[in-house]
Amino acid sequence: MEDIEALYGLYFRDVYRYVCRLSGDCDLAEEITAETFFRALTAIKNFRGDCDVRIWLCQIAKNIYFSSNKERKKLVPLPAEELPAEIPDAEEFLAEKSDASLIRRLVHELGEPYKEVFMLRVFMETDFKTIGGLFGRSANWACVIYHRARKKIIERMEKTEKGDGTR
């Protein structure tokens, strides 16, 4: 039990930030982070140490996030008349979120290993040496993959903003 408390103290912030960036929903990130540490508690005996503990926890969190998305897609939406009235300045709020949403969508459209390397570097602030090690490659390989992913995202954003793609 002390082990999981130590892990929680050391890695809560990293896992929470990762899920918050992944989902774009900080309330959901809080729930998933809590669930992540609960699952880690039950699975800690199976942790082989093949990767950094932070990466292992974030992988658990990512799996929970994708599973929760599948569950939410199964929910039946409320009829329009039962939905609450729009909050004031909702359009302004959505406009500010649109770039972040576009970037998140573009990241998810990347193929592997670009997507994973980009997320590890940007959302978890993992160094290239660690990323390379996770893939059994060099730090230079991780750096090259990250910069290629970044370039692809920028190119797709420019296309979208010029009207060549859908937003």
Task: Tell me which residue has tokens 């995202």.
Answer: 153
Question: Which tokens is 70 given?
Answer: 């599948």
What proportion of the chain, given as a percentage, has pLDDT over 70? 76
In a domain, 83, yes or no: no
Distances (CA, A) of 21 to 65, 101, 105, 119: 12, 10, 12, 9
pLDDT surpassing 80 at residue 161: no
Q: Which of 29-33, 95-99, 100-104, 121-125 reaches the highest mean pLDDT?
A: 29-33
Mean pLDDT (whole number) for 36-47: 79
Residues 46 and 99 in one domain: no
In a domain, 96, yes or no: yes
| Residue numbers of the domain that contains 21 | 1-75
- Does this model's pTM top 0.95? My answer is no
Beta strand residue intervals within the chain, DSSP E: none
| End-of-domain residue from the set 44, 75, 106 | 75
Lowest-pLDDT range, 43-47, 80-84, 111-115, 159-163? 80-84
Mean pLDDT (whole number) for 59-77: 75
Instruction: Quickly state the pLDDT bin for 108 (edges 50, 70, 90).
Output: confident
